[in-house]
Amino acid sequence: MIKKIKGTQDILPEETPRWVALEGLIRETMIRYNFHELRTPIFEQTQLFARGIGQLTDIVSKEMYTFLDRGKKQLTLKPEMTAPIMRAYLENKLYARSPLNKLFYIAPLFRQENPQAGRLRQFHQYGAETLGTTDANADAEIIDLAWTIFQRIGLKNLTLRLNSVGCPQCRADYKRKLQDYIRPNLDKYCADCQRRFETNPLRILDCKNPTCSALNQNAPKLVDHLCDDCRVHYEQVKDRLHKLGIPFKEDPYLVRGLDYYTRTVFEITSENLGAQNAICGGGRYDLLARELDGVDTPAVGFAAGMERLLMVMEQQGITLAEKPRLDVFLAPLGDLARQECITWAHKIRALGLITEMDLLGRSIKAQMREANRQQARFVLILGENELQKQEFTVKIMDKSEQLTVAFDQILDFLQMAAKEN
Ligand code: HAM
């Protein structure tokens, strides 16, 4: 039998209500903050990610699903949304319509990682991006939005970590200082860090290898080497978060796994997740538009992983959605009754009631069992006798009551009775 691909998931019918409810809460909150949904294609030219995210990042160098199409074009299933959003913004000249664009998305993404709990090869993110301003209030608004969604869900025990990775000017200076600090012990660092030493030494600060993190303990901090503009910006972001009452921890060694960041970076982690504890990450990326040969567009955004979020919700006992209860179960007995019932089902559904009818020709006993399993509120029995009299036998399941209702009364009856219960 053909099986699903490792690291992918089927979202089964009993799970979809949780997804739909979560997506509803996300959309509703995004709209309150006046963000507008943008949807982009599942695949893009590989170059978009190679240039946007950075050739040397794990995502681009190891994790992308890249293939040649029949026309020998190199394409990639999107591993993240920030670069596609920026491409769509530039290509559609959204900047010409408005100097500020606030965009959001909910989308499936693809990364060929080693699958484990909370780490999938196809996963889902929601996120928001503000394009067109360097204002620190935009950074604060993005973090407020990310935080507020978690608050509205009712999540507890979250940590927001914040840092500034400066701009290319202050970073160049800092890189040299960091390399001077690491160089004497370079041979003790892991192979990945040694490889990153020349090309991307900042990522060494992020290494989870215990030896490397011990060696990094007294490394110089970028926040101590920010240029004046970047320092003022960072102070403003922190000030706004204080004003918003959003608790955060400064983490001078927080560097994110994508190369486009400038200034603000942040991550939100949950105590309920193991090694893959980040449910949300984001930051400012003022140079990405230029990197993609577009008009200069400073921007800031975040994205959160929906599978990880749903895991935390489950562990904290948070349910946003109950499976909706069946209102009416139509129980026909015999072919003639079934023919009659299909049109009744249509009419009852038109009242807005969730309605099911037996399609398997089951016995009345088996149909009653099914109605109970689906917790139906009303069962409408249509046997030979009822057909002759043009009426239904109605069982009001919560009250264990039974009565007969004529065909020409049934819609009014159900409409009234459904409201009462
Ligand atoms: P990211 O940190 O790569 O950032 O991903 C954001 C979130 O997506 C993570 O915190 C995690 O919850 C979830 N995630 C990432 N990879 C996986 C995976 N393999 N399985 C399950 N969940 C995963 C970005 O993608 C940036 N585009 C965020 C951003 C938006 N920065 C600025 N704007």
CATH assignment of the domain containing 359: 3.40.50.800
Distance between CA atoms of 222 and 213, rounded to whole angstroms?
Answer: 16
Closest Cα to atom 11, ligand 1: which residue? 305
Residues lining ligand 1, Cβ inside 6 A? 80-82, 111, 113, 118-120, 123, 125, 127, 129, 257-258, 278-283, 301-305, 307-308
CA distances from 308 to 79, 115, 313 (A): 16, 13, 9
Compute the distance between CA of residue 266 and CA of residue 249 in angstroms, rounded to an integer: 10
Instruction: Tell me: do 337 and 288 sit in the same domain.
Output: no
CA dihedral 243, 248, 150, 15 (to 10 degrees): 170
Whether 191 is in a domain gets the answer no
Cα(271)–Cα(420) distance, integer angstroms: 44
The pLDDT of residue 274? 79
| Atom of ligand 1 at shortest range from CA of 304 | 7
Question: Residue 254 belongs to what domain range?
Answer: 16-167+227-315
Regarding whether 390 and 287 lie in a shared domain, the answer is: no
Structural domain count, the chain = 2
Instruction: Note whether 357 and 248 are same-domain residues.
Output: no
**Nearest-atom index, ligand 1, CA of 125:** 8
310 CA from centroid of ligand 1 (Å):
15
Judge if 70 and 130 occupy the same domain.
yes
Sheet holding 66-68, edge to edge: 43-45, 74-77, 66-68
Best of 85, 125, 143, 256 for a ligand 1 pocket test (most atoms within 8 Å of beta carbon): 125
Atom 4 of ligand 1, nearest CA residue: 281
Same domain, 279 and 383: no
Let me know if 26 is exposed, middle or buried by CB neighbors in 10 A (0-12, 13-18, 19+).
buried
Position 218 in a domain: no
Q: Angle at Cα 48 formed by Cα 44 and Cα 49, nearest 5°?
A: 95
SS3 of 291, please? helix
Each residue's pLDDT expressed in tens, for the chain with a length of 421 residues: 999 999 999 999 999 999 999 999 999 999 999 999 999 999 999 999 999 999 988 999 999 999 999 999 999 999 999 999 999 999 999 999 999 999 999 999 999 999 998 999 999 999 999 999 999 999 999 999 999 999 999 999 999 999 999 999 999 989 999 999 999 999 999 998 998 898 889 889 888 889 998 999 999 999 999 999 999 999 999 999 999 999 999 999 999 989 999 999 999 999 888 777 899 999 999 999 999 999 999 999 999 999 999 999 999 999 997 778 999 999 999 999 999 999 999 999 999 999 999 999 999 999 999 999 999 999 999 999 999 999 999 999 999 999 999 999 999 999 999 888 6
- Whether 129 and 85 have beta carbons less than 8 Å apart is answered as yes
- Report pLDDT for 377: 97
* Exposed/middle/buried for residue 365 (C-beta within 10 Å: 0-12, 13-18, 19+): exposed
Q: Whose CA is nearest to atom 31 of ligand 1?
A: 282
Q: In this predicted structure, what is the pLDDT of residue 324? A: 83
Residue 70 lies in a domain: yes
Domain assignment present for 104: yes
Cβ pair 355, 404 in contact under 8 A:
no
Using alpha carbons only, what angle is made at residue 243 by residues 279 and 285, rounded to the nearest 5 degrees?
Answer: 50
Across the strands, what pairs with 127?
A: 105, 303
Q: Are residues 273 and 357 in the same domain?
A: no
Let me know: does 117 contact 274? Beta carbons within 8 Å: yes
**What sections of 92-134 are H helices per DSSP?**
94-97
State whether 308 and 335 are in the same domain: no
As a whole number of angstroms, the distance between CA 226 and CA 155 comes to 34
Protein residue closest via CA to atom 8 of ligand 1: 305
Do 379 and 306 reside in the same domain of the chain? no
Cα(278) to centroid(ligand 1), Å: 8
390 CA from centroid of ligand 1 (Å): 60
Work out which ligand 1 atom sits closest to the CA atom of 268: 10
Tokens of 290: 């230029």
Amino acid, single-letter form, for residue 19: W
Cα 51 to Cα 67: distance, rounded to the nearest angstrom: 17
Given this model, what pLDDT does residue 421 score? 60
Let me know whether 118 and 156 are in one domain. yes
Question: What ligand 1 atom has the least distance to the C-alpha of 113?
Answer: 19
- Using CA positions, which residue lies closest to atom 23 of ligand 1? 305
Site to probe by mutation for ligand 1, drawn from 158, 288, 308 as the one with most ligand atoms within 8 Å of Cβ, is 308
- Which ranges of 5-121 does DSSP label H, i.e. alpha helix? 16-32, 46-53, 58, 82-91, 94-97
CA of 92 to the centre of ligand 1 (A): 25
- Helix ranges restricted to H, 188-227: 191-199, 210-215
| Residues in Cβ contact with 178 at an 8 Å cutoff, skipping those fewer than 6 apart | 201, 202, 204, 205, 219, 220
Q: Quick check: is 185 in a domain?
A: no
**Minimal CA–CA distance to 216: which of 257, 166, 251, 260?**
251
Residue located nearest, by CA, to atom 2 of ligand 1:
281
Rounded Cα gap, residues 161 and 155, in angstroms: 16
Q: How far is the CA of 129 from the centre of ligand 1 (A)?
A: 13
pLDDT of res. 70: 97
Which residue type, as a one-letter code, is found at position 157? N
- Total residues belonging to the chain: 421
